Amino acid sequence: MAPREIITLPDKRLRLKSEPVKRIDASIRKLVDDLFETMYDAPGIGLAAIQIGVAKRIVTMDLSRKEEEHKPQVFINPEVIWTSEEKSKYEEGCLSIPDFYEEVERPAQVKVKYLDLEGHEHEIEASGLLATCLQHEIDHTNGVLFIDYISKLKRDRIIKKFAKAAKKVEA
């Protein structure tokens, strides 16, 4: 296990659509371990494989509080199969867009189909923070960022800010 570098805006890989995992083998298990270590090290509550530059449909999450025992969850090939008409708003942030938070409206409840590390298929119904986090991370596997849900003006400002910062780093 080793923490990996989290890619940030304006890295174009964040807009890639991730490939489904065809076989869960040792390399996928190691990737999941690395994702958890990277997520905990950051620290964050969710991480998609694309955020470390790997275009695979894998998401890790842990919504436990700092003082609680870790409750790691892994979702392989996650897919939203139902959303509620009711909406909810949460202030979202992203490890790939550090230090920026914005309120985002999403469906309040979702049903997600996914595989576990043994390759068994599951469905989970989620609401609250879990529903928001699942949607946020599954969006990553589709090349969608939470800033895509805010006004174009705010989004353009954020992208410009990160592009400018990246140019300074390169110089």
Per-residue pLDDT tens over the stretch 74-112? 999 999 999 999 999 999 999 999 999 999 999 999 999
At 147, the amino acid letter reads I
- 1: pLDDT confidence band, cut at 50, 70 and 90? low
How far, in Å, CA of 140 to CA of 17, rounded? 8
CA separation for the pair 59, 89 (Å, rounded): 22
Which amino acid is present at 59? V
Give pLDDT, residue 85: 98
**Using CA of residue 93, residue 97, residue 99, residue 103, what is the dihedral sign?**
negative
Render pLDDT for 130-148 as a digit per residue (tens, 0 to 9).
999 999 999 999 999 999 9
Among residues 26, 35, 134, which one has the least CA distance to residue 90?
Answer: 134
- The closest of 70, 62, 72, 76 to 27, measured between CA atoms, is 76
Asked whether the predicted pLDDT for residue 127 surpasses 80, the reply is yes
pLDDT tens digits, one per residue of 51-76:
999 999 999 999 998 889 999 999 99
Predicted TM-score (pTM) above 0.75: yes
Helix (H) or strand (E) holding 159: helix 152-170
pLDDT value of position 60? 98
- What integer best gives the mean pLDDT of the chain? 95
Average pLDDT over residues 14-32: 97
Is the CB of residue 9 less than 8 Å from the CB of residue 96? yes
What are the chain's domains?
12-170 (3.90.45.10)
Contact between residue 52 and residue 34 where contact means Cβ atoms under 8 Å apart: yes
The catalytic residue among 92, 102, 123, 137 is 137
Checking if the pLDDT of 168 tops 90, the result is no
**What's the mean pLDDT in 9-36?**
97
Neighbours of 104 (CB within 10 A): 18
Largest CA distance in the chain: 48
Active site residue 91: no
**Residue 160 scores a pLDDT above 80:** yes
Phi-psi region of 168 (alpha: psi -120 to 50; beta: other; left: phi over 0): alpha
Query: CB–CB of 45/61 below 8 Å?
Result: yes
Supply the pLDDT for residue 67: 83
